[in-house]
Structure 1
Amino acid sequence: MKKTPLDDWIASLTGLPMTRRALSRHALSALRRTLERARTSSPFYGARLAPFPEDFPRSLRDYGALPVTDPGDLAADPMALLAAPQEAVERIVTLPTSGTTGAAKRIFFTERDLARTMDIFRVGMSSFVRPGGRVLVL
Structure 2
Amino acid sequence: MAISEGLSIGALAKRTGLAVSAIRYYEAQGLISPWRNPGGQRRYLRADIRRLSFVMIAQQFGLSLPEIRDVLAGLPGNRTPTPQDWKRISKGLRAHLDQRIDTLTRLRDNLDGCIGCGCLSLPKCALYNPDDRAKSKGSGPRYLMGDAPDD
Task: Give your verdict on TM over 0.5.
Answer: no
Bigger relative contact order, structure 1 or 2, given CA contacts below 8 A and separation 6+? 1
TM-score, normalized by length of structure 1? 0.25
The structure whose residues are more often strand, as a share, is 1
- Which is greater in Rg? 2
